[in-house]
């Protein structure tokens, strides 16, 4: 459609539209709308390939008046890198055309366009490559349909234009093969069915960068990204993975190279105010150009940079970094590659200059900082001759450090060629997705294939910026990453600011042993305070039940086992008292045996007295079973021995009390009570009362016996070794039965307390039972409330106190008479009613 100025009045526009709609001609045309899009580089061939590159990185902004048709973009800022990509594409096509093995007899042509970095222009160029620039004739009954003008398109370099182009070309099933568009979004085949690439997806790069950051212990980082599909999608994946790995972002900001300088200035101020020392830069090389220029003005050094593959191995970025802000940077790059003969072809651009190509004329002038004369009268400071020598030039065009990307372009062209070659060999039976099934090796041995998402295998080199003494930066490969072995390091690093060890970037230092994290309110989870752990834990993880943390809370130590032992003072003292009681009882028994034929011993039932002394000896000795480390047998022995011996003792006391009472009854007229409670009955009563306690103990041991138990509750830092009762009913039944016998003894002794003194010992038994009952009534609350080994000591004290009470009250007065008052130890005195009351 020819360009004319639109009429200002709407009615004139309507008339023109009606005129065009109803006009008839013998031959109708399918007309192109807009200006034709002329390729910057082209070559005819039997099969055409398209190329879309940004030979210019920007354009002049013009304000539209909306009163006339917008003018074509005026492109500015030559991008030498894109010239290199185009040259690589031309080189691969020339190599294929000269090959006798691949597409023999078929020539490939190319049509390469400049998009000036504009997404809108990228879409327009893609449609031009698809439709062609010619008007197509057709009669009124035919459509304007025709075959696509190119079989595949190579490009774009960036992700955002690639998504736009892939969206347009997808319905036409025209393959778009990118060499550097890494956005993971492009793997979505439902949106971009015909998109392929020879560079790995950022799905892997973003995760690899997060793992790289985690490897060095950086949990508090800042993030800067390009505000386009590449940066936003890549950073979103990085952020998601970082959160899973426990990494926090202090800030995450985005900008585009065309943003106002104030926005970039705000980002720099944010970096200055931040506390993180690591910056993850997911930026395109053009945005990194802008940022590094601004950073250099502020001399913003001392930060560890982590970069994406777009700029981390770009020598142009390194050359711009005059203040060495990026020294020590690490990141991921495409693995090193080499394409033989490419460098010579790359520099062979003079034929393009001689062909009067406007783009390459501009390129040549920028390359050598000269200008071609347009007329003889034009005065030029440095005139271009067209014969300048590239070998003497050092700039981004002659820099071959981007060979890995050149290799991606090279592989993309060969992928198309192999797909076409296979189509020609399969006799037109191939489907449209044949290019996805190619699998071959280039002449350099690089394997080329696509997965189901149209992506190659993910392989990266880990790059470290290491400056030389002369200030030039070397990109040193220090490790590898792929989707199978993950991170692999094989070389030493150079860190930012000439640090000798890995920089530290954390919001809060790791809590020392013995403390735990408490999150700071309103801050990410990486920011915390450290508070002391509980006393029974280290690093706030509880020690095993039998262990305890030391004072520093950095180690678990075994808890001290506590029990009443013979070695400690309390145990030794109780043992001594027990043995003393045993010895005293033995001494009393010896005295009674020596004076066994005296009236005093015979009058007080010598048989029961000796049995009582024997039981008291057992009572004193049974207290020793409570001392020492509890074991299965000692736990069962201590309570049962105590219960049986005390019942035996009380049975004897009860028998003696009954003897005194019956003896008095027998002196009354008409009473003969002693025949019902003679020696045989006395023995049977003692045996019967004791047998009942034996039955109780057997039932206790059979149903739920006492057992050794580790008590962790009383003390936090100690283990109390004690005997658990097993059955509390059994224990209190034993004590209850002893208490019942003690009460019977007390009652009978109390009834007999006023009988003639020369006859009985009832009042002494009464005193002994008062002591016995007082001791055991006091024992119960003391036993229940005493912790650990003290409860054992209380029980031993009760045994010893009640045993001494019986021994002293019942036997010591008699020993006193036998040893010191022998004149009272006579039958006359015992039978006399006028004797002194000394017994």
Residues 324 and 465 in one domain: yes
- Candidates 731, 638, 716, 650; CA nearest to 685 is 650
Residues 632 and 730 in one domain: yes
Q: Which two tokens stand for residue 19?
A: 């005129």
| pLDDT greater at residue 458 or residue 68 | 458
Which of 558, 587, 610 lies at the terminal end of a domain, its last residue? 558
- CATH number for the domain harbouring residue 753: 1.20.1070.10
Q: Note the Cα 376 to chain centre separation in Å.
A: 75
Residues 190 and 206 in one domain: no
Give 134's pLDDT tier (boundaries 50, 70, 90). low
Residues 195 and 229 in one domain: no
Which of 408, 432, 449 lies at the terminal end of a domain, its last residue? 449
318 located within any domain: yes
Residues 614 and 632 in one domain: yes
Angstrom distances, CA of residue 795 to CA of 155, 626, 767, 789: 94, 8, 21, 10
Range 274-288 average pLDDT: 94
CA 139 – CA 28 distance, rounded (Å) = 6
Residue 87: is its pLDDT beyond 90? yes
CA 32 – CA 128 distance, rounded (Å) = 9
Evaluate whether 518 touches 528 at the Cβ level (below 8 Å): yes
674 located within any domain: yes
Residues 755 and 637 in one domain: yes
pTM, full prediction: 0.65
The rounded percent of the chain whose pLDDT value lies above 90 is: 38
- Candidates 614, 613, 612; CA nearest to 657 is 612
23 located within any domain: no
CA 769 – CA 610 distance, rounded (Å) = 19
Residues 209 and 325 in one domain: yes
Give 62's pLDDT tier (boundaries 50, 70, 90). confident
Which of 415, 431, 449 lies at the terminal end of a domain, its last residue? 449
Evaluate whether 112 touches 53 at the Cβ level (below 8 Å): yes
Number of domains in the chain: 4
706-722 tens-digit pLDDT: 988 888 877 777 888 88
549-605 tens-digit pLDDT: 777 777 788 888 888 888 889 889 999 999 999 999 999 999 988 888 888 877 766
64 located within any domain: no
Residues 6 or more apart whose Cβ sits within 8 Å of residue 752 = 657, 660, 661, 664, 760, 762
Q: What separation, in Å, do the N-terminal and C-terminal C-alpha atoms of the chain show?
A: 147
Residues 610 and 693 in one domain: yes
68 located within any domain: no
300 located within any domain: yes
Residues 6 or more apart whose Cβ sits within 8 Å of residue 119 = 160, 161, 164
Residues 481 and 538 in one domain: no
837 located within any domain: no
CA 331 – CA 309 distance, rounded (Å) = 7
Determine the pLDDT at residue 667.
53
- CATH number for the domain harbouring residue 364: 3.40.50.2300
838 located within any domain: no
Residues 123 and 232 in one domain: no
Q: Which two tokens stand for residue 265?
A: 């200035």
Backbone angles phi, psi at 642, to 5 degrees: -60, -45
Give 153's pLDDT tier (boundaries 50, 70, 90). very high
**Which domain does 546 fall in, by range?**
515-558
Residue 162: is its pLDDT beyond 90? yes
Residues 595 and 654 in one domain: yes
Residues 819 and 794 in one domain: yes
208-258 tens-digit pLDDT: 999 999 999 999 999 999 999 999 999 999 999 999 999 999 999 999 988
């Amino acid at each position: 459609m020819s360009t004319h100025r639109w009429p200002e009045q709407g009615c004139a526009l309507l008339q023109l539209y009606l005129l065009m709609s109803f006009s008839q001609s013998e031959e109708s045309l399918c007309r192109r709308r807009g200006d034709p899009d002329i390729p910057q580089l082209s070559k005819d061939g039997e099969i055409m390939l398209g190329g879309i590159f940004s030979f210019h990185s920007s354009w002049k902004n013009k304000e539209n008046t909306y009163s006339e048709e917008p003018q074509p973009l005026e492109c500015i800022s030559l991008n030498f890198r894109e010239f290199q990509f185009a040259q690589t594409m031309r080189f691969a096509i020339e190599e294929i055309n000269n090959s006798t093995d691949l597409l023999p007899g078929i020539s490939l042509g190319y049509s390469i366009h400049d998009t000036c970095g504009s997404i809108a222009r990228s879409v327009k160029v893609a449609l031009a490559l698809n439709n062609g620039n010619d008007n197509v004739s057709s009669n009124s009954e035919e459509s304007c349909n025709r075959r696509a003008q190119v079989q595949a398109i190579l490009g774009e370099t960036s992700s955002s234009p690639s998504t736009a182009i892939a969206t347009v070309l997808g319905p036409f099933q025209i393959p778009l093969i990118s060499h550097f568009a890494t956005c993971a979004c492009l793997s979505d085949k439902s949106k971009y069915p015909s998109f392929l690439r020879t560079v790995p997806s950022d799905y892997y790069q973003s995760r690899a960068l997060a793992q790289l950051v985690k490897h060095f212990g950086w949990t508090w980082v800042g993030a800067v990204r390009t505000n386009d599909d590449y940066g936003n999608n890549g950073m979103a994946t990085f952020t998601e993975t970082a959160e899973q790995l426990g990494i926090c972002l202090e800030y995450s900001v985005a900008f585009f190279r065309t943003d106002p300088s104030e926005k970039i200035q705000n980002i720099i101020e944010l970096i200055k105010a931040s506390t993180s020392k690591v910056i993850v830069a997911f930026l395109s090389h053009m945005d990194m150009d802008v940022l590094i220029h601004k950073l250099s003005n502020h001399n913003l050094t001392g930060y560890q940079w982590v970069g994406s593959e777009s700029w981390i191995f770009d020598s142009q970025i390194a050359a711009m970094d005059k203040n060495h802000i990026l020294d020590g940077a690490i990141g991921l790059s495409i693995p090193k590659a080499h394409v033989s003969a490419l460098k010579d072809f790359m520099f062979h651009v003079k034929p393009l200059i001689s062909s009067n190509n406007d783009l390459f004329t501009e390129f040549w002038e920028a390359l050598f900082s000269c200008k071609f004369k347009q007329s003889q009268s034009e005065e030029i400071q440095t005139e271009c001759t067209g014969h300048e020598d590239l070998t003497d030039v050092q700039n981004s065009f002659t820099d071959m450090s981007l060979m890995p990307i050149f290799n991606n372009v090279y592989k993309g062209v060969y992928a198309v060629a192999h797909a076409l070659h296979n189509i020609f060999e399969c006799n037109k039976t191939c489907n449209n997705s044949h290019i996805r099934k190619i699998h071959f090796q280039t002449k350099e041995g690089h394997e080329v294939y696509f997965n189901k998402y149209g992506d190659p295998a993910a392989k990266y080199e880990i790059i470290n910026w290491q400056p030389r003494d002369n200030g030039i930066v070397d990109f040193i490969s220090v490790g590898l990453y792929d989707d199978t072995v993950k991170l692999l390091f094989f070389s030493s690093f150079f860190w930012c600011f000439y640090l000798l060890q890995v920089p530290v970037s954390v919001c809060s230092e790791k809590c020392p042993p013995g403390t735990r994290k408490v999150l700071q309110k309103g801050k990410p989870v990486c920011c915390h305070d450290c508070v002391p752990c509980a006393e029974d834990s280290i690093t706030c993880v509880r020690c095993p039940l039998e262990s305890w943390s030391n004072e520093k809370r950095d180690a678990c130590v075994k808890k001290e086992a506590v029990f009443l032992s013979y070695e400690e003072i309390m145990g030794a003292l109780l043992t001594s008292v027990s043995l003393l009681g045993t010895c005293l009882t033995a001494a009393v028994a010896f005295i009674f045996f020596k004076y066994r034929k005296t009236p005093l011993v015979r009058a007080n039932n010598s048989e029961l007295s000796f049995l009582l002394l024997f039981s008291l000896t057992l009572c004193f000795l049974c207290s020793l079973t409570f001392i020492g480390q509890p074991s299965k047998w000692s736990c069962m022995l201590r309570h049962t021995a105590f219960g049986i011996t005390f019942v035996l003792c009380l049975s004897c006391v009860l028998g003696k009390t009954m003897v005194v009472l019956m003896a008095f009854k027998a002196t009354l007229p008409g009473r003969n009570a002693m025949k019902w409670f003679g020696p045989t009955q006395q023995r049977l009563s003692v045996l019967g009362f004791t047998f009942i306690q034996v039955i109780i103990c057997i039932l206790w041991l059979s149903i739920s016996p006492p057992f050794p138990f580790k008590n962790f509750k009383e003390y936090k830092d100690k283990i109390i070794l004690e005997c658990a009762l097993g059955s509390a009913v059994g224990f209190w039944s034993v004590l209850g039965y002893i208490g019942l016998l003690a009460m019977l003894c007390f009652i009978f002794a109390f009834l007999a307390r006023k009988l003639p003194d020369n006859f009985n010992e009832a009042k002494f038994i009464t005193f002994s039972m008062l002591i016995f009952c007082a001791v055991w009534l006091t024992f119960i609350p003391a036993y229940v409330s005493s912790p650990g080994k003290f409860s054992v000591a209380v029980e031993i004290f009760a045994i010893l106190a009640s045993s001494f009470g019986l021994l002293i009250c019942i036997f010591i007065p008699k020993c006193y008479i036998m040893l010191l008052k022998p004149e009272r130890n006579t039958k006359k005195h015992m039978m006399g009613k006028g004797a002194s009351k000394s017994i």
